[in-house]
Amino acid sequence: MCTKHIKSLGFTLIELMVTIAIAAILLGVAIPGFNSIIASNKLTTYANDLITTFNVARSEAIKRGQQVTITRISSTAGVWEGGWNIFVDVDGNNAFNDDGNTTLCQMNSDGSPSEDCLIKTFPALSNGYTIRTGSSAYQNYVAYLPSGLAKNAVGDTFRICDSSANNSKSKAIIISAAGRARAQSGTVSCP
């Protein structure tokens, strides 16, 4: 009598269940770590957006030869997480004024703008993230003159924090009196 041994080409049910159990344990350990990485990346993204905002406004003011202003969208002073607008501020009043028509950025016959011209709008931050200013100088707006200097000519710090209120995770965007922005990590107290 001849017996042939057939070699198994798959996994047994027990081997498969052990593998799935090990994978579940590893995912359970790894997922909380991914959440902190995602939160850290969001803070960095928001800090980069704010630095980009200041750099764009400054360069546009120099390029256009007119004041460019950044205003917060929120109605609460010093609270910037609701988003912000960058615009050419034709009358220099630090507020976006549109004449209510559908054509934005209308020009005079000499090529100069006849109304404030919206350059870019930054949307609100995700829930649980905040951007706050330190002093009253930049609570409502940041304006750059055609020279590229900040209109207020004082330094200030924008604090970017997440809901953990962990100061070591915070980001600070520091504006010099001349209007230059730079980032610093983990140095500010969160609200």
Contact 156, 173 (CB under 8 A): no
- Average pLDDT for the chain: 84
**Side chain identity at residue 99, one-letter code:** D
Q: What is the pTM of this model?
A: 0.78
3-state SS, residue 20: helix
- pLDDT value at residue 100: 67
| Cα(171)–Cα(186) distance, integer angstroms | 6
- pLDDT value at residue 33: 74
Rounded percentage of the chain residues whose pLDDT exceeds 70: 90
| Cα(127)–Cα(177) distance, integer angstroms | 31
How many Cβ atoms are within 10 Å of 104's Cβ, its own excluded? 13
Contact 100, 114 (CB under 8 A): no
Q: Is the pLDDT of residue 45 over 70?
A: yes
Q: Is the pLDDT of residue 118 over 80?
A: yes
What mean pLDDT comes out for the span 48-60?
94
Provide the pairing of β-strand 130-133 with 156-161.
antiparallel
Q: Is the pLDDT of residue 104 over 70?
A: no
- Output 136 or 161, whichever has higher pLDDT: 161
Q: Which residues pair with 161 in a beta bridge?
A: 130
E strands, 94-188, in order: 117-122, 130-133, 141-144, 156-161, 171-175, 181-185
Judging by beta carbons within 10 Å of its beta carbon (0-12, 13-18, 19+), is residue 81 exposed, middle or buried? Answer: buried
What mean pLDDT comes out for the span 119-146?
88
| Cα(124)–Cα(45) distance, integer angstroms | 13
What mean pLDDT comes out for the span 141-165?
87
Each residue's pLDDT tens digit, 55-87: 999 999 999 899 999 999 988 888 899 999 999
| Full set of structural domains in the chain with CATH | 38-185 (3.55.40.10)
Contacts of 126 (CB under 8 A, 6+ apart): 42
Q: Is the pLDDT of residue 1 over 90?
A: no
Contacts of 131 (CB under 8 A, 6+ apart): 46, 50, 79, 80, 81, 125, 158, 159, 160
Q: Is the pLDDT of residue 2 over 90?
A: no
- pLDDT value at residue 106: 73
